[in-house]
Amino acid sequence: MFKLGAERKPLDTEQDLASAPTFSRLENAANNRDLYRLAQAFVEQFVASYAKPPKMIVLDMDHSEDQTHGQQELAFYNHHYQSHCYLPLFLFEGLSGKFITAALRPGKRPKGAENAMILKRVLKRLRQHWPETRILLRGDAHFANVELMQLALDDPYTDFLFGLTGNSRLKKLAEPHLERTRRLHDTRCHNARLAEQEPPQRSRTFHEIDYQARSWPQNFRTVLKAEVMGLGDNPRFVVTSLKDPAPEMLYTELYCARGQDENFIKMMKNDLASDRTSDCRFAANHMRLFFSCAAYVLHQALRTELLQGTELSRAQPSTVIIKLFKLAVRVAQYKDRIKLHLPSSCPVEALLHTITERLYRLPRPSPNTS
């Protein structure tokens, strides 16, 4: 089947595919320039996935723990995760789930300058194609640094929305709002007991507070989620350059939606083995990460282009792999054709026919296309 995908005859032993040692040599042959060009190629394919410039995209960024178990280059101990690991950076488009690019990193916590260096290159490539598309940079609290904020300020069509780590100053500003929320929670619990109903598990209100860190180039909008639960207070903060919408919608609809980015990363790790970074060389492990990224791009295209309207339109990669690829098939090669015989009780036979017809109708690239 892999030979068919490579347009070779499946039973022709003179056209065998690459062996595991050949792939190992390929992984270890990659240098820094190759990896940089591959990272750019992922950005270019992301741009090419749009027929016309979008009005807005959300650039979700997040790091993920990639545990190492050996003497891999640049694998460091990270106290937050309490493991020796890499800490790769993943960039996804938050509205569609499309993959933009990734960078394998050492296991240490990234600084703002490093994040800004990577994002600046990505934004430069995007702006070459989409000069007026609105771009929202979105991430959790360790992206709330002055370098990324300034990167957004330098572009009139770019905004940011980051989580913000609480400190003594923020907690002091939040205390009056938390006190009112505590009274609201107590009242709601009292009313529920009088009505012999289950008391609410939490109460929360949303507010804007006047706060500016010393390192910030200017005053930015800071939003507080004042949440009170049975176990205690749970204040949360976000900072943004957006003027709209209202605080509650900004937090619940815009910021909390970044949690979907973590699901995309889980697909990459659990289903597509992006954490298979067991080579001793850092560049080879980066190449392995890019193999998984390419698999995610193929899965996203398959799901959005060919599986729309089917039972797998929202399926994760592992489900697609099990139902469509891990099938028993008998390959029969003739002089003028190749037939694939499915089992008589194949449960996804109709789905395979649908996908095959859709694939057949797709325009094929010309031989001169690079």
Amino acid at 343: P
Cα separation, 285 vs 278, in Å, equals: 7
296: nearest Cα among 259, 269, 322: 269
Give the ranges where 212-314 is alpha helix by DSSP (H): 247-249, 259-266, 282-301
Give the ranges where 195-231 is alpha helix by DSSP (H): none
The share of the chain scoring above pLDDT 70, in percent, equals 98
What is the reported pLDDT for 370?
A: 46
Overall average pLDDT of the 69-90 stretch: 94
Q: Residue 226 — very low, low, confident or very high, per pLDDT cuts 50/70/90?
A: very high
Max Cα–Cα distance, the chain, nearest Å: 83
C-alpha distances in angstroms, 169 versus 227, 240, 336?
A: 18, 18, 76
Give residue-wise pLDDT tens across range 183-211. Answer: 999 999 889 888 888 888 899 999 999 99
Say what the pTM is: 0.91
Amino acid at 52: K
- Which has the minimum average pLDDT: 99-108, 122-131, 140-149, 190-199? 190-199
Overall average pLDDT of the 33-60 stretch: 96
Query: What's the token pair of residue 368?
Result: 């001169």
Cα separation, 45 vs 189, in Å, equals: 53
For the chain, give the mean pLDDT: 92
> What are the φ/ψ torsions at residue 276 (nearest 5 degrees)?
-85, 60
Instruction: Using the predicted structure, report yes or no on whether residue 243 has a pLDDT greater than 80.
Output: yes
Structural domains of the chain, ranges and CATH numbers in brackets: 16-161+253-291 (3.30.420), 167-234 (no CATH), 327-361 (no CATH)
Give residue-wise pLDDT tens across range 151-165. Answer: 999 999 999 999 999
Cα pseudo-dihedral 149, 151, 152, 157, rounded to 10: 180
Overall average pLDDT of the 236-240 stretch: 96
> Cβ-count burial of 7 within 10 angstroms (0-12 exposed, 13-18 middle, 19+ buried)?
exposed
3-class DSSP assignment, residue 353:
helix
CB–CB of 213/170 below 8 Å? no
3-state helix, strand, coil in the chain (%, to 5): 45, 20, 35
Q: Residue 29 — very low, low, confident or very high, per pLDDT cuts 50/70/90?
A: very high
Query: Would the CA dihedral through 242, 243, 247, 249 be positive or negative?
Result: negative
Give residue-wise pLDDT tens across range 88-97. Answer: 999 999 999 9
3-class DSSP assignment, residue 67:
strand
Give residue-wise pLDDT tens across range 95-110. Answer: 999 999 999 999 999 9
What is the reported pLDDT for 367?
A: 59
What is the reported pLDDT for 368?
A: 57
Q: What is the CA radius of gyration of the chain?
A: 25
CB–CB of 56/82 below 8 Å? no
3-class DSSP assignment, residue 56:
strand
